[in-house]
Each structure stands twice: as structure tokens, then as C-alpha cells.
């Protein structure tokens, strides 16, 4: 139910952190990570996931397949 950041590609530029409407992104061990419990894939906030849109490295903020996709509350 969330996006994740591929650590090996993260430049640690921090651009995503303030853009996240759910305050799900934080710095950990030199790169940034997304808390899957907080990530809503920006549904209900923006048309596009903000971390994906602002990240300077393509394919670095990606869907985390290890968790189910986010479902908006009915």
C-alpha cells in the first residue's frame, strides 16, 4: 500500500520529504525512506505521487510490491 525509495539510487537530496502530504518520508542511514504505514500514494491529495514527481532520479520512488496497494477509505 505504498511507494518505496530505492536506497541505492537515492541522492539524499531531500526534495521528497517536504512534498509528502502524509509526512511519511524521513531520513534514515544517509538516504530517505517512506513509512509504508503512512503512505497513501497521494490518493485524495494530488493527481500524482509527489515523491515520484519531484525526485531527480528516474525510477527511484516506486511502488512497493511487498505490501498491498493502498485502498482509500470508503
Partner 1 sequence: MQKLLQLQDFGGPGAKTLDEVRREAAQGGCSSTGGSGKASCGSGAGQGDLSPEVWDKVKNHPCYSEQAHHHFARMHVAVAPACNIQCNYCNRKYDCANESRPGVVSEKLTPEQAARKVLTVASTIPQMTVLGVAGPGDPLANPGKTFKTFELVAETAPDIKLCLSTNGLTLPDHVDRIQAMNVDHVTITINMVDPEIGAKIYPWIFYNHRRIEGVEASRILSERQLLGLEMLTARGILVKVNSVMIPGVNDKHLVEVNRAVKSRGAFLHNIMPLISEPEHGTVFGLTGQRGPTAQELKALQDACEGEMNMMRHCRQCRADAVGLLGEDRSAEFSTDKVMEMEVEYDLEARQAYQAKVEQEREVIARAKQAELAKLADETSAIKIQVAVATKGGGRVNEHFGHAHEFQIYEVSTTGAKFIGHRRVDLYCEGGYASADGVEPIIRALNDCSAVLVAKIGVCPKDSLEGAGIEAVETYAFEFIEKSVIAYFKDYLERVGKSEIRHVVRGDADIRQGAFIET
Name the site residues for partner 1 (rule: CB under 8 A): 9, 11-15, 17-19, 46-48, 50, 53-54, 56-57
Cα R_g (the chain), whole angstroms: 11
CB 42 within 8 A of CB 21: yes
**By three-state DSSP, how is residue 8 classified?**
helix
Q: In the bound complex, what is the minimum distance in angstroms from residue 34's beta carbon to partner 1?
A: 16
Q: In the bound complex, what is the minimum distance in angstroms from residue 49's beta carbon to partner 1?
A: 10
In terms of CB distance, is 13 or 68 closer to partner 1? 13
Amino acid at each position: 500500500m505504498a511507494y518505496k525509495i530505492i536506497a541505492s539510487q537515492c541522492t539524499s537530496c531531500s526534495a521528497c520529504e517536504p512534498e509528502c502530504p502524509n509526512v511519511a518520508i524521513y531520513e534514515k542511514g544517509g538516504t530517505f525512506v517512506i513509512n509504508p504505514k503512512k503512505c497513501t500514494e497521494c490518493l485524495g491529495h494530488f493527481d500524482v505521487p509527489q515523491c515520484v514527481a519531484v525526485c531527480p532520479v528516474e525510477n527511484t520512488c516506486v511502488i512497493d510490491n511487498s505490501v498491498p496497494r493502498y485502498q482509500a477509505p470508503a
